[in-house]
């Protein structure tokens, strides 16, 4: 199916969703589907819940956010359970402006964008369907047609509470077009769309001297006054402000606290009473979720001004900090890169992880508990199990600083530095060292970083570099062992033969001469020392190995290279310690001999085939590890 066919198919599907009828028809729909009359807050909560909720380690994960927001599980759970859920149940929290407060590039705008795109999709479903009075520029709720004196009876019959009054325009239309017969008023299904200004509004502050309040509440259409005779005739008014168009859905206030005061006061009545004033009309009812976002410094400045107390009391402030998990930060970079034109550049394994380590370190705060470095804290937050620390200890660490994650390096800076490295040097492959070098170079030109922070950040780059050194050495070790798998198995069998002879106090036979010989203590100890087995503990370790072999034999299973994790680690380390001279020699001489070159090519092939390197990054890794081993 080509793109035009898909467009046609989508258009046909949209046409099938179209519905139009009278208020009487709509009330019959409500009998079977009372959820159609849900409020704006309820619609947002049900939209999030509709996508699914999973629970992990006592924290709820919402599928609605999972592919776009990373490492914010706890703030998102707080947002949903402390704002959206109670607001959906008509508790008083729905009469508050939702203010997302956090650092730049922390996910606030992404979160709001997700809610807007989600509502657009949700209103296409049966569960999220929205019905409105046809021809109303504010997409008014048809239930506003029910007279006030009958609403209690309506609630008893339908189980639905009606809030809000009919707008001035529809009051006039009811009398003039329908002769007061509410049952004949035409109702249609509508679909939210930010582009079409239906159910979703966005207000962005500009110059206070030139911006008009009409941007929010609509304005008089002077060209129609001669026709209708009065400015107070609702037909002479354009109900096209953002508050009008966002009715039934969501209104985004971008950088809200930068707005002039006259714009903010309109929100007082809207949030508390569910209505606002426009022109020469009675109060206009509006049912919409107002979500705003700002940074911490602007928020602190706002609440310090006593004149803002009334508005501040009508806000629910939800902190949206930076992510503090290395693995989740890596996902943020992967997402940003996938959406850019640099996605075809090869990024060596662990590159983004090392960049993420540096970034997370800049966001963490020193613990008051002794013996917990920022590096250890970073690993604990990322889910690594460290001896002596339980989940309760990690929760205590998180409670130490309420503002942890509200400052530090933002993801955009990292992506900007990666992009700069690629563009300037026209590189088709980058590794962790390239990125760390670029991050370091960029600190001197970062305008918002103080001299003191710059010194700390340089230290964090050094810490991240040390972490990479260890990862690089282990990566090459794994590749060598994989390339010499047979050697590892042979070494394992040799060790096991000697352990069996040692424990059973028997002799070994020389495969060449046939002579008897004692177990090779030097060989066994050279392997056991790789994992810290002491002289006093060697006997117990060897006996435990023999018991494990016997247990496998009784079950008819073969004890092999993968059967004992600690022994496998010891064999790998022993093999690499024997082979690392090959790395040192081959990477330090300009013209390696044929045998050395063959060995290195095998390792390069393993890095490419098994560990996602390309030829350039694999050879760079070997040269770097060689230089580390030669120090």
pLDDT score recorded for residue 563: 83
pLDDT score recorded for residue 152: 96
DSSP string for 472-509: HHHHHHHHHHHHTHHHHHHHHHHHHHHHHHHHHT--EE
Q: What does the alpha-carbon distance between residue 129 and residue 122 come to, in Å, rounded to a whole number?
A: 7
Q: Which residue has the higher pLDDT, 10 or 85?
A: 85
Q: What does the alpha-carbon distance between residue 98 and residue 79 come to, in Å, rounded to a whole number?
A: 9
Q: Strand 237-238 relative to strand 275-276: parallel, antiparallel, unpaired?
A: unpaired
Query: Per-residue pLDDT for 128 more than 90?
Result: yes
pLDDT score recorded for residue 100: 94
Q: What does the alpha-carbon distance between residue 140 and residue 168 come to, in Å, rounded to a whole number?
A: 11
Look at 45-59, 77-91, 303-317 and tell me which has the smallest mean pLDDT: 303-317
Q: What is the mean pLDDT of residues 6-26?
A: 92
pLDDT score recorded for residue 65: 95
Q: Is 621 exposed, middle or buried (0-12, 13-18, 19+ CB in 10 A)?
A: buried
Q: What is the mean pLDDT of residues 228-247?
A: 86
Question: Percentage of residues in the chain with pLDDT exceeding 70?
Answer: 95
pLDDT score recorded for residue 541: 92
For tokens 């030829």, what's the residue? 615
Decide: 146 and 114 in contact? Cβ < 8 Å.
no
The secondary structure element, H or E, covering residue 10 is: helix 3-17
Q: What is the mean pLDDT of residues 524-535?
A: 91
Closest CA to 109 of 258, 303, 320, 302: 320
For 390-428, write each residue's pLDDT tens digit.
Answer: 888 888 888 899 889 999 999 999 999 988 888 876 778
Indicate the DSSP class of residue 322. Answer: P
CATH number for the domain formed by residue range(s) 3-319: 3.40.50.300
Q: What does the alpha-carbon distance between residue 21 and residue 133 come to, in Å, rounded to a whole number?
A: 10
Q: What does the alpha-carbon distance between residue 281 and residue 220 come to, in Å, rounded to a whole number?
A: 11
Token pair for 423: 């563009």
Closest CA to 124 of 19, 7, 1: 19
Closest CA to 430 of 346, 503, 361, 504: 346
Q: What is the mean pLDDT of residues 366-370?
A: 86
Query: Per-residue pLDDT for 591 more than 70?
Result: no
Look at 277-281, 295-299, 568-572 and tell me which has the smallest mean pLDDT: 277-281
For 257, how many CA atoms within 13 A lie in the half-sphere containing its CB?
A: 22
Q: Which residue has the higher pLDDT, 258 or 362?
A: 362
Q: What is the mean pLDDT of residues 372-398?
A: 87
Mean pLDDT of the chain: 88
Query: Per-residue pLDDT for 210 more than 80?
Result: no
pLDDT score recorded for residue 583: 65
Q: Which residue has the higher pLDDT, 511 or 310?
A: 310
For 435-484, write each residue's pLDDT tens digit.
Answer: 999 999 999 888 778 888 999 999 999 999 999 999 998 888 778 777 76
Decide: 477 and 573 in contact? Cβ < 8 Å.
yes
Domain ranges, ordered by start, for the chain: 3-319, 326-454, 473-630
Query: Per-residue pLDDT for 379 more than 90?
Result: yes
Look at 127-131, 206-210, 366-370, 566-570 and tell me which has the smallest mean pLDDT: 206-210
pLDDT score recorded for residue 211: 72
**pLDDT bucket at 101, cuts 50 / 70 / 90:** very high
Closest CA to 297 of 212, 407, 379: 407
Contacts of 89 by beta carbon, 8 Å cutoff, 6+ apart: 42
Handedness of CA 367, 370, 373, 377 (dihedral sign): negative
Q: Is 413 exposed, middle or buried (0-12, 13-18, 19+ CB in 10 A)?
A: buried
Decide: 147 and 166 in contact? Cβ < 8 Å.
no
Closest CA to 67 of 109, 111, 130: 111
**pLDDT bucket at 589, cuts 50 / 70 / 90:** low
Dump strand ranges (E) for 295-379. Answer: 315-319, 346-347
pLDDT score recorded for residue 280: 77
Decide: 112 and 100 in contact? Cβ < 8 Å.
yes
Q: What is the mean pLDDT of residues 24-34?
A: 95
pLDDT score recorded for residue 586: 59
Query: Per-residue pLDDT for 178 more than 80?
Result: yes
Q: Which residue has the higher pLDDT, 92 or 478?
A: 92
Closest CA to 71 of 461, 391, 405, 414: 405
**pLDDT bucket at 262, cuts 50 / 70 / 90:** confident
pTM score, two decimals?
0.83
Diameter of the chain measured on Cα atoms: 121
Q: Which residue has the higher pLDDT, 268 or 504?
A: 504
Q: What does the alpha-carbon distance between residue 464 and residue 91 come to, in Å, rounded to a whole number?
A: 48
pLDDT score recorded for residue 592: 63
Indicate the DSSP class of residue 521. Answer: H
Question: What is residue 258's three-state secondary structure?
Answer: helix
Query: Per-residue pLDDT for 22 more than 80?
Result: yes
End-to-end CA distance of the chain: 60
């Amino acid at each position: 199916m080509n793109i035009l066919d898909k467009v046609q198919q989508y258009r046909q599907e949209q046409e099938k969703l179209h519905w139009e009828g009278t208020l009487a028809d709509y009330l019959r729909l409500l009998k079977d589907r009372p959820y159609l009359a849900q409020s704006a807050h309820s619609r947002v909560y049900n939209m999030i819940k509709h996508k699914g909720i999973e629970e992990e380690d006592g924290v709820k994960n919402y599928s609605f956010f999972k592919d776009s927001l990373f490492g914010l599980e706890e703030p998102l759970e707080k947002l949903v359970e402390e704002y959206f859920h109670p607001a959906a149940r008509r508790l008083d929290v729905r009469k508050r402006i939702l203010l997302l407060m956090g650092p730049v590039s922390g996910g606030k705008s992404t979160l709001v964008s997700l809610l807007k795109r989600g509502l657009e999709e949700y209103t296409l479903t049966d569960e999220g369907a929205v019905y409105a009075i046809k021809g109303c520029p504010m997409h008014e709720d048809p239930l506003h047609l029910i007279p006030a004196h009958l609403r209690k009876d309506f609630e008893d019959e339908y189980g639905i509470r009606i809030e809000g009054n009919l707008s001035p325009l529809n009051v006039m239309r009811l009398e003039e077009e329908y002769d007061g017969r509410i049952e004949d008023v035409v109702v249609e299904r509508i679909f939210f769309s930010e582009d079409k200004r239906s159910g979703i509004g966005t207000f962005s502050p500009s110059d206070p001297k030139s911006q008009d309040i009409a941007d929010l509440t609509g304005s008089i259409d002077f060209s129609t006054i001669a026709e209708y005779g009065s400015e107070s005739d609702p037909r002479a008014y354009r109900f096209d402000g953002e508050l009008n168009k966002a009715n039934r859905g969501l209104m985004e206030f971008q950088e809200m606290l930068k707005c002039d005061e006259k714009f903010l006061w309109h929100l007082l009545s809207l949030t508390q009473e569910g209505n606002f004033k426009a022109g020469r009309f009675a109060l206009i009812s509006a049912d919409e979720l107002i979500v705003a976002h700002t940074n911490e410094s602007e928020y602190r400045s706002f609440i310090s001004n006593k004149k803002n107390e009334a508005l501040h009391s009508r806000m629910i402030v939800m902190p949206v900090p930076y992510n503090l998990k290395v693995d989740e930060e890596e996902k943020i970079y992967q997402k940003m890169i996938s959406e850019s034109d640099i996605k075809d550049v090869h990024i060596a394994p662990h590159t983004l992880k090392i960049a993420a380590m540096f970034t997370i370190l800049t966001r963490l705060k020193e613990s008051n508990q002794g013996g917990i470095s920022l590096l250890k804290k970073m690993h604990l937050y990322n889910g690594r199990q460290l001896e002596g620390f339980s989940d309760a200890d990690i929760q205590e660490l998180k409670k130490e600083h309420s503002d942890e994650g509200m400052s530090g390096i933002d993801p955009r800076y990292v992506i900007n530095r990666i992009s700069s490295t690629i563009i300037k040097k026209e590189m088709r492959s980058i590794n962790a060292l390239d990125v760390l070098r670029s991050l370091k170079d960029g600190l001197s030109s970062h305008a918002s970083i103080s001299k003191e922070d710059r010194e700390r950040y340089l230290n964090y780059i050094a810490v991240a570099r040390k972490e990479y050194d260890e990862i690089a050495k282990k990566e090459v070790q794994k590749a060598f062992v994989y390339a010499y798998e047979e050697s590892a198995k042979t070494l394992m069998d040799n060790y096991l033969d000697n352990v069996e002879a040692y424990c059973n106090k028997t002799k070994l036979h020389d495969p060449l001469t046939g002579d008897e010989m004692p177990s090779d203590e030097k060989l066994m100890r050279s392997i056991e020392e790789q994992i810290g087995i002491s002289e006093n503990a060697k006997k117990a370790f060897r006996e435990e190995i023999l018991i494990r072999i016997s247990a496998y034999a009784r079950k008819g299973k073969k004890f092999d290279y993968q059967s004992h994790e600690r022994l496998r680690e010891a064999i790998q380390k022993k093999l690499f310690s024997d082979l690392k001279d090959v790395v040192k020699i081959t990477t330090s001489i300009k013209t390696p001999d044929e045998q050395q070159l063959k060995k290195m090519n095998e390792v390069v092939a393993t890095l490419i085939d098994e560990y996602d390197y390309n030829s350039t990054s694999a050879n760079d890794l070997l040269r770097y590890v060689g230089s580390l081993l030669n120090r």
